[in-house]
């Protein structure tokens, strides 16, 4: 009796939405629009796709810290969770503007002046501006296609010495070349906690490197690194110089370690992946492969040797 074929189980609308969101959120750097076209055609349901995209795109854009050009071409605004002042609106502290974005289209649709309550106090702004200038100088030197910004995430209303506050430095760089089957991104977030009572500044960094190479294959890199450092609390200019030097040192050191590890990849990781001994527990005699003949062995087994 033939076995009955298994019946196909139809996914619920909720399961379809979650599946589409998973594919969108796991898209390689700069490739969510390409993935969205494919999943949209497979799903073949515009309503379900639009619901999934409206949830996935904002999360993807903020986690990948993409940057969008403002309509007046005054610069780029970073899309992160640190500068989101309201839904779909992101503060650019350098220009004191708020950019409204369309997440799915990945475009900035309009800008407005930032409100007073969205900006830090003059005392905090002095430190933020000084650090922003130093980090911008470093990024211009280190990342040909990089964007950076500094945000105050805690204590932005402090009006004088003696107050603790926290700044966040965000650096985002992307090299997208889909025509050459290669895309990549660098994202780093540096939390700068100023503890004036201890006269210390603690710097904690999180770096993430993503790359996708897909010419005649599919190779992805997702590397993460965390580090921390300390420096003395000084004037705004001295603090900015010291913090930017810490960021430069750790990022340069990590990039060098990545390059070194991949240069030695064939002699380390790939070598370790190979089986030490075949299942016969005997080393394969690479120096004398002529002693093996698949044809000879088969003809012998079948008894058709001439």
What is the DSSP annotation of the chain?
-PPPPPPPPPPPHHHHHHHHHHHHHTPPTT-HHHHHHHHHHHH--HHHHHHHHHHHHHHHHHHTT-EEE-TT-S-EEE--SSSEEETTEEEETTTTEEEEEETTTTEEEEEEEPPGGGS--HHHHHHHHHHHHHHHHHHHHH-TTEEEEEEEEE-TT--STT--EEEEEEEEEEEEEGGGTEEEEEEEEEEEEEETTTTEEEEEEEEEEEEEE-SSS-EEEEEEEEEEEEEE---HHHHHHHHHHHHHHHHHHHHHHHHHHHHTGGGTHHHHHS-SS-TTSS---GGGGGG--HHHHHHHHHT---
Residue 210 has pLDDT above 70, yes or no: yes
The CATH number for 120-266, chosen from 3.20.20.70, 3.40.50.2300, 3.40.50.2000, 3.90.1150.210, is 3.90.1150.210
Quick one: 52 exposed, middle or buried, by C-beta within 10 A (0-12, 13-18, 19+)?
buried
Give the pLDDT band of residue 217 (cuts 50, 70, 90).
Answer: confident
pLDDT at site 1: 44
Dist. CA 116–CA 82, nearest whole Å = 17
Report pTM. 0.82
pLDDT at site 244: 97
Dist. CA 260–CA 145, nearest whole Å = 23
Give the pLDDT band of residue 17 (cuts 50, 70, 90).
Answer: very high
- Domain 65-117: assigned CATH number: 3.30.1140.60
Average pLDDT over residues 137-154: 95
Dist. CA 180–CA 200, nearest whole Å = 47
pLDDT mean across residues, the chain: 87
Phi first, then psi, for residue 218 (nearest 5°) are: -155, 95
pLDDT at site 253: 95
């Amino acid at each position: 009796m033939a076995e009955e074929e298994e019946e196909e189980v139809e996914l619920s609308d909720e399961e379809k939405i979650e599946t589409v969101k998973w594919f969108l959120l796991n898209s390689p750097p700069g490739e969510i629009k390409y993935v969205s076209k494919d999943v949209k055609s497979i799903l073949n349901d515009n309503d379900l796709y639009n619901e999934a995209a409206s949830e996935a795109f904002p999360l993807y854009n903020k986690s990948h810290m993409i940057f969008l050009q403002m309509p007046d071409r005054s610069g780029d605004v970073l899309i992160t969770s640190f500068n989101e002042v309201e839904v779909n609106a992101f503060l650019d502290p350098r220009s004191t503007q708020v950019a409204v974005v369309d997440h799915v289209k990945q475009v900035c649709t309009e800008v407005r002046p930032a409100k007073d309550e969205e900006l830090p106090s003059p005392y905090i702004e002095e430190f933020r501006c000084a650090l922003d200038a130093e980090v911008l100088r470093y990024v211009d030197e280190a990342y040909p296609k990089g964007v950076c910004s500094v945000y105050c995430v805690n204590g932005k209303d402090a009006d004088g010495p003696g107050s603790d506050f926290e700044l966040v430095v965000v650096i985002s760089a992307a090299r997208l070349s889909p025509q050459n089957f290669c895309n990549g991104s660098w994202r780093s977030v540096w939390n700068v906690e100023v503890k004036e009572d201890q006269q210390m500044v603690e710097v904690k960094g999180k770096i993430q490197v993503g790359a996708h190479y897909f010419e005649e294959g599919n190779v992805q890199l997702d590397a993460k690194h965390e580090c921390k450092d300390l420096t003395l609390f000084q004037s705004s200019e001295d603090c900015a110089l010291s913090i930017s030097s810490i960021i430069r040192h750790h990022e340069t050191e990590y990039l060098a370690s990545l390059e070194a590890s991949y240069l030695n990849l064939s002699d380390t990781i790939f070598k370790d992946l190979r089986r030490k001994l075949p299942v016969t527990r005997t080393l394969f005699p690479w120096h004398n492969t002529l002693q093996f003949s698949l044809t000879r062995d088969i003809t012998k087994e079948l008894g058709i040797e001439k």
